[in-house]
Structure 1
Amino acid sequence: MVIKALIFDFDGLLMDTETTLLDSWRAEWRRHGLELDESAFFADHGGDTTDEKYALLAAAAGPGFDRAASHARRTAYRNERHRSLGLTAGLDAWLGEAEGLGLRLAVASSSPRDWVAGHLARTGDLARFEVLACGDEVAAHKPDPAVYRLALERLGLPPEAAVAFEDTPHGVSAAVAAGLRCVAIPNLYAHNARFGQATKLLPSAEAAPLSVVLAHLPAAGGLT
């Protein structure tokens, strides 16, 4: 079946909000004279892990820890970083190419809709996406395929007519479970060896034009 739509993950794929997240928490730990254990920082699933992260920091910092003050500082720090944050390198060119090819564009993210839409609106890219499917609209987060199934439902397409783009192993698992072929561009904090389910693995969106990437995908249902 001919590819008619592309479905992109948001955090870490369309925008590197993963680095701003890590940096904001690293700064808070250092404020208390502590070092964040970065090896276990990113979860193997989508969704919000803020409460768990604050519990770890509070336990390490001791009884004087003020979560409200910490959250205000960390949020302000991250918001300032986001003021200049744009699309990940190569993605603007890919989206432009997709538009030229007449491909429909969608986002499937475990993050809330206001987060995704807000960032895309800030950079002037929201109108490029026909469909947003977000974590606050489904009952389970990636690796559950619910958000990809919602994106396909809103596009009115079978999975064979679309291709997903992801940056994490659990995101790839979600896309594949929804029946999609998936191009993986691992983020800075994900190990390439864990992307065995991906249809194609790329170092970045600058590695090849979108048309070349799509042309070299196997047929839907074919071997990867």
Structure 2
Amino acid sequence: MELKTTNHKDLFAFFHHLVYIGCDPEVKHGKPSPDGFLIAAQRFPDNPDPKKVLVFEDAPNGVEAARAAGMQCVWVPSIPLDVNKHSDKATQILTSLEEFKPEDFGLPPYNNS
């Protein structure tokens, strides 16, 4: 996690909480099990309905876990993969997070001003 977040500390400072799937005592099974995503949702004060949660993932097992949790998932593969092999699982596949359009998911568009 340190390696993936080291260049994005300002962004991660906005996160309400983090769930480390490999070592969190409440997470009984790792990906592709939905446990980690369901625990993360439960830790929000309003415990959102999984259908209202949007997950961003970089790996096929994560996409599978998010979908098993009943959540929508934007997949941005971190390495070149045959996305066609897994495309039936992701809600949306992007080559970069810069392509993400919040309005595709009923969220307000970015304010570019």
* Superposed pair shares fold, TM > 0.5: yes
User: In the TM superposition, what is the alpha-carbon distance from 1:149 to its structure 2 partner?
Assistant: 0.7
Q: Structure 1 pair 181/154, CA: closer, same or farther in 2 (3 Å)?
A: same
Q: Which protein shows a greater Rg?
A: 1
* Contact 1:184–1:195, Cα closer than 8 Å, also in 2: no
- Shift of residue 131 of structure 1? 2.0
RCO (CA 8 Å, sep 6+): is it higher in 1 or 2?
A: 1
Q: Identity rate of aligned residues, in percent?
A: 30
Q: How many residues align?
A: 101
Gaps of at least 5 residues in structure 2 are 108-113
Q: What SS does structure 2 have at the residue aligned with 1:198?
A: coil
The CA deviation at 1:161 is 1.8
Structure 1 distance, partners of 2:106, 2:62, is: 22
Preserved contact between residue 160 and residue 179 of structure 1 (Cα < 8 Å): yes
How well do the aligned residues superpose, as a CA RMSD in angstroms?
Answer: 2.5
Question: 2:39 aligns to what?
Answer: 150
**What CA distance in whole angstroms lies between the structure 2 residues aligned with 1:162 and 1:214?**
10
Equivalent in the alignment of 1:188: 79
Q: Which one of 97, 103, 110 corresponds to residue 212 of structure 1?
A: 103
Q: Is the 8 A contact 1:172 1:198 kept in 2?
A: yes
In structure 2, relative to structure 1, the CA distance for the partners of 1:11 and 1:177 (3 Å cut) is farther
Q: Which residue of 2 aligns with 1:5?
A: none
Letter of the structure 1 residue corresponding to residue 62 of structure 2 = G
8 Å CA contact 1:165–1:184 kept in 2: the answer is yes
Q: Deviations over 1:141-187 (max 9, x none)?
A: 10011000101111211102211111111101000000101111111
CA distance in structure 1 between the aligned counterparts of 2:12 and 2:76, rounded to whole angstroms: 21
Deviation at 1:133, TM superposition (A): 1.4
Query: 1:127 and 2:19 equivalent?
Result: no
Q: Within 2, Cα distance between the matches of 1:201 and 1:134?
A: 24
Aligned-partner Cα distance in 1 for 2:97–2:12: 19
Q: Could you state the TM-score of these two structures normalised by the residue count of structure 2?
A: 0.75
Question: Normalization by structure 1: what TM-score?
Answer: 0.40
Q: What is the CA-CA distance between 1:11 and the residue it aligns to? A: 8.6
Are 1:162 and 1:180, in contact at CA under 8 Å, matched by a contact in 2? yes
SS in 1 for 2:77: coil
> In 2, are the aligned partners of 1:169 and 1:195 still within 8 Å (CA)?
no
* Matched residue type, 2:74: V
Q: Deviations over 1:109-131 (max 9, x none)?
A: xxxxxxxxxxxxxx233330012
- Structure with more helix by fraction: 1
